[in-house]
Structure 1
């Protein structure tokens, strides 16, 4: 069997041309890792996430760095390869003084035959990383400048674009050995590529395994593939380098997305052997399922419906960005935590955005296990990308590498050509400065679909997000294919969501600051205000705070204090997204998906995220959990009348009775009825409510309730909320406390910010609305909490309601 020898120990890093007064010396380096985290661990730089340290560290991305290690390598084999799974980015690899390779692509792996260069002991491996800026700017000068969304050269280098900053992320241009590196000693032959095409044929699961061998000897071989207890074997003639075999699994258990069935997985093992024994092996987990995307034309435009195992799935999605600007800090436990938070909010789909990375095996393994659907963008975002060399060949090699790596995962249901570049070409004033030069169309319409068809046939490829399905229709036409909505947030009030009837909404969002504990850790401003320097530095969106303020107009008064600003903007974000998603889900089956921008952050920042940069849940998470529930009751305007819509995303009929009432804020019931709801599996029902329910006596002082669903006849600024009166008792527990709250007045969006009590604390629910006499029990986890009688439990800034913001 081959010998795999990691080379992850005893690395150092040093700068070649750092500016005076920055760094001077040799520092221990972690591999995999990057220069920023190495310097941070050595105490050579301040934390770039705090205050405006990011700005003072911009020199790192314009400096050349040398990583170096020594090792012994008494390895036997016909071949010994140096295998580098990821080099970030402009690398020169030297072994024992001999240049092995030069690379310029963060998104692909490399293998070099180094047997003739190795010594039994005292080997010196050096990887020099030249400035990504220098390389990208040289390519820009050679191929000609193209437009993009930011004044950074990210489209001229095959590197994670968000390293160069985004409207939610810092500009921290990394360098380093960011994926595993090591030696692979092998003899006779090895499995160069294994490509399993997984399908379902009646009750059988079928795996067609396509294998390419690399040989060091032309001898007969045998390939064996095993799935469960089913084994298939095929001989390989001397000199042959490509072979296929099929494994058929009877009565196969299907892989289903979460909410639709079990996410059953099978182990697939491929072994290569010769007459004298085993040579190589390859293992993955696979799932048997069928996935198609219905893009048929109809009377309303062009559908976009994901169908798994013959069942249409309403996509309840979130966009995923790298969870840290320094991606090597995101380990399996952190992926599990973040994906667990997504699942907890009712998410069934993750879209991996095209300005980050092709996500890790840990990410995809967890998605496979939990039945999450994944759409993976190819890495092009918000820019016109040159199609000339040296980029064209790198794009092709990268795409082949990544499609082959990820295609075994059953969670992966869609490849998407780019993020917003088709839209950008049409609407962002690109065409005149391009003057006919390439901008990426050849990648999205020819190269990438060809690679997917060759390596991963049968899996959906979609040229871009958004895309209408044809070049004859505007790429962001809501009636066709996939749509992004960004006039809400940028220019329009969130009620404008209700004017849209999209077929599939792939991006939309609304901003809010991070939790207080996260913001306070990252920003040392005194006093902390919405416009203090650190807070503004951690707001990367153009006129972001201005848009936050305008977003409150018509909903809440402009806040007078920082604490009110923080609460109002977080509440408004939750309200905006809940309003939009409830509307879009009520349109089912016309609309068959919403993918919120965004689940997560990559540092502490004001952004569109649901989970902030320190992993804390914003109020939006709690709103998302309610509106992404499997069975949703929502009251929507139909013919200008409040109408009850019941949405059933489960695979069983929904039969229930719902008490619907119109009630005053003082608790007086003005009208009441009991509605019987019958919704078939996977369907939606529209229920007309009686006129005495939908017609208020006083629209400023009444609400319609249907179980935990509430409908108001006016915005908060026009509602006559009473001052909130609550009875609160706190009981310490082993892991925190339970908080029992009873309302003596109408209380809207009751929220306990546990991180205001202690930064480690969290609570299980927020945004609870109570009628007079109703109660809720909150479960708080955390240490060093205030004593039960401490007024902090009962007052702002920890305890907030919507009433606070509009009641004098």
Structure 2
């Protein structure tokens, strides 16, 4: 096979027609383009448009998604005598007409598929012209919606009528920047006789052996050949002579003494390189595979229907996060960016990533990194928060897209769940869709027939779920906490975060609470003067309906109304962290009734107020440190008792037993000990228990000045307060802080003279590139902590201890008689 890479050619992009404002009329003349790329990034690189993320530019540039575009290049070609010459497009976004020397090769209407076109008849010796014309995605979606019949969907545009990343049309955390472009590789491939079209490995484990079935799809030309299909893994080889054309060929290989791929925290991530070749034909395939078994146990029990993920025969308590596309402009996402984001998950103690259904099937780099890190992957099919037509042309696109995605990702041992889609079953049951649909199809056939059939055929070793949330049977409400998976969104939308405790979920596949990004991230794009939670540019970067109102109401009795914008920023960040910790602590207190949770969300795609724990500039928000604590292998919390004394909840998610001394003290905020209870704790591996704290010596007789401190001899600690911060006798700044230079940056030492809650160093205010190693540290009177700051900047160390940089919850609580809130 001869390959000619066309991405290295000189490309241009120009507008063909659309509502282009006069100030941007230069787009009709064309600008240099990069392939892979999209129109927005090309116009930005050419200096034609401003940064779409800055200020209110998002709305100013909305015409891009309403405009038709043409990509064009020229290239040299010489006939090599091969029978076929294909134009192979790995990704066209989205509605494209491909023209080679003015010959129309074909049309596409699916961003999530690869396409091949027979180009031989249109090629000519020497110079060739290739054009790819993209129809404007927003009006196309509107037209298709009318053609198929309008169906319910979230947000503004009918993204459910086009096979394109749904979030590209805007979401409650993402910008409306509908893209167009050649977003993945593009090349000419010449071949004769037979071509290796795809390879799908199927793995099984039996009796210490790894069983590998290589399923090869062969495309045949007209020239007669007799190729040999060969495969090799771990020194074991197999081959098959193809004496006649067959669409599919299989090879069986057995690996003795196979070493299993294990999730992180369960063992090593053993992988085996596999090579598949079609000798006497064209094509080769190389991947690293892993051997593992996986199942989801939904066997009913006395409490309902569990949802237990079991890998290699062992139950895995899921500590996960939802993943959204790392950038609205997907070609900008590099392996390095993905590695940094997935490292955020690993460093926080997570073991699973859910690729959410409103995004895209991620790159090979993403899944390869998850394989390498031991991060389990829950993969949604790409349907979210909408009803979808089951008529053509969408149905055919869905099937082709799903077949390709399952086949492409079959090599990755990290992928352990295929899921039908996001909130579509719930939407049909609860969101008033039935009357609006008037009998139109809504996607049920995809979730209950098409997708499970394809997964059973193409990935028989990977479980499938109809949707998220889903109560395992269609005869129950899909978001029932006693059955299967559930999403908890009344907390955040309408209720205080303590109401996470109202639920006893078997498995939580979405829950979350908003908070702003880091100060430096926000200030990079918001230029309101003065800064205000309701400033026009800040609201451009808050996409949730009444988001800032929910942030303020969410403070509830936990924190007082902020007096300044900086206090608003810190208070809402802090409240997000406490909300997430409250939810996770409650879920873990229910183990084994609860078998896991998946936080919404790990990452951001642009600077925005959102549910993410790491913002789009890579800054770990305060909530990330709360997540790291709550997702630790060994975790303790104090939960309110059901009308009685509080309970110490203990979860050991490690492979060895946990034995520790336990000391529970009742102390004052000034450190005076008023009561003590001591005991021992013994817990089996992967087990949980609760301990009633009902000793009379632990009763909080004055909740405003007293708290409980539970310390384990192995270093874990849990705190319990009888009153929220505004009613606690907190001093405004009961600590001393000094900063000093150290290797690689700085160290800030903090010493408490009284209770100081949630010490957090917002180092990005001084150096946007600074990284801190800890946050949300609560110190009792007489305790100390050190915060390490990694920074290459030449800073005045004292700047790291300023009142706007070194923050605590105490800062927000006004002394009696202090000034009231600003608004």
Alignment TM-score, normalising by the size of structure 2? 0.96
* Cα displacement (A) at 1:756: 1.3
Q: What do the CA deviations read for 1:341-391 (whole angstroms, capped 9, x no partner)?
A: 111111110001111101111110000000000011111111111112221
> Counterpart in 1 of 2:116?
111
Q: Which moved more, 1:138-147 or 1:44-53?
A: 138-147
CA contact (8 A) 2:732 2:813 kept: no
Q: How many residues align?
A: 803
* Cα displacement (A) at 1:693: 4.9
Q: What do the CA deviations read for 1:426-477 (whole angstroms, capped 9, x no partner)?
A: 1111111111111111111111111111211231111111010111000011
Question: 656, 665, 668: which is aligned to 1:664?
Answer: 668
Q: What do the CA deviations read for 1:82-108 (whole angstroms, capped 9, x no partner)?
A: 100100001000011100001111010
* Cα displacement (A) at 1:296: 0.8
Q: Which moved more, 1:25-34 or 1:757-766?
A: 757-766
Unaligned runs of 5+ in 2: 712-716, 816-823
CA contact (8 A) 1:2 1:280 kept: no
* Cα displacement (A) at 1:509: 0.5
1:169 aligns with 2:167: no
> Counterpart in 2 of 1:703?
707
> Counterpart in 2 of 1:148?
153
Aligned CA distance change for structure 1 residues 234 and 703 (closer, same or farther; 3 Å):
same
> Counterpart in 1 of 2:75?
71
**Aligned pairs (5 A) from 1:186-225:** 186-216=191-221, 217-225=223-231
CA contact (8 A) 2:52 2:58 kept: yes
- Provide the rounded CA distance (Å) in 2 between the counterparts of 1:537 and 1:711: 38
- Provide the rounded CA distance (Å) in 1 between the counterparts of 2:399 and 2:340: 34
Aligned CA distance change for structure 1 residues 407 and 526 (closer, same or farther; 3 Å):
same
CA contact (8 A) 2:646 2:694 kept: no
CA contact (8 A) 1:320 1:600 kept: yes
> Counterpart in 1 of 2:772?
763
**Aligned pairs (5 A) from 1:10-89:** 10-18=10-18, 19-21=20-22, 22-24=24-26, 25-76=29-80, 77-89=82-94
CA contact (8 A) 1:384 1:440 kept: yes
* Cα displacement (A) at 1:551: 0.4
CA contact (8 A) 1:3 1:186 kept: no
1:553 aligns with 2:589: no
Question: 456, 468, 471: which is aligned to 1:468?
Answer: 471
Aligned CA distance change for structure 1 residues 698 and 4 (closer, same or farther; 3 Å):
same
**Aligned pairs (5 A) from 1:259-658:** 259-274=265-280, 279-639=282-642, 640-658=644-662
Question: 245, 248, 265: which is aligned to 2:254?
Answer: 248
SS of residue in 1 equivalent to 2:640: strand
CA contact (8 A) 2:142 2:157 kept: no
CA contact (8 A) 2:665 2:698 kept: no
CA contact (8 A) 1:302 1:481 kept: yes
**Aligned pairs (5 A) from 1:707-722:** 707=711, 708-722=717-731
Q: What do the CA deviations read for 1:156-209 (whole angstroms, capped 9, x no partner)?
A: 100011111111111001000001110112223211121110111120111011
- Provide the rounded CA distance (Å) in 2 between the counterparts of 1:419 and 1:57: 29
Alignment TM-score, normalising by the size of structure 1? 0.98
Aligned CA distance change for structure 1 residues 238 and 147 (closer, same or farther; 3 Å):
closer
SS of residue in 2 equivalent to 1:302: coil
CA contact (8 A) 1:758 1:785 kept: no
* Cα displacement (A) at 1:6: 4.3
* Cα displacement (A) at 1:690: 4.9
SS of residue in 1 equivalent to 2:396: helix
Q: Which moved more, 1:714-723 or 1:489-498?
A: 714-723
Q: What do the CA deviations read for 1:563-622 (whole angstroms, capped 9, x no partner)?
A: 111111000000000000011011111111110001111111111110112211110000
SS of residue in 1 equivalent to 2:126: coil
* Cα displacement (A) at 1:80: 1.4
Aligned Cα root-mean-square deviation (Å): 1.3
Unaligned runs of 5+ in 1: none
Q: Which moved more, 1:178-187 or 1:579-588?
A: 178-187
* Cα displacement (A) at 1:7: 3.3
- Provide the rounded CA distance (Å) in 2 between the counterparts of 1:20 and 1:673: 73
1:750 aligns with 2:755: no
> Counterpart in 1 of 2:746?
737
* Cα displacement (A) at 1:785: 4.8
Aligned CA distance change for structure 1 residues 20 and 704 (closer, same or farther; 3 Å):
closer
* Cα displacement (A) at 1:116: 2.5
Question: 98, 103, 127: which is aligned to 2:103?
Answer: 98
- Provide the rounded CA distance (Å) in 2 between the counterparts of 1:75 and 1:587: 68
Q: What do the CA deviations read for 1:675-722 (whole angstroms, capped 9, x no partner)?
A: 322111111122233514531131111221223321111211221112
> Counterpart in 1 of 2:807?
800
Q: What do the CA deviations read for 1:107-131 (whole angstroms, capped 9, x no partner)?
A: 1000112122222321111000011
- Provide the rounded CA distance (Å) in 2 between the counterparts of 1:563 and 1:458: 51
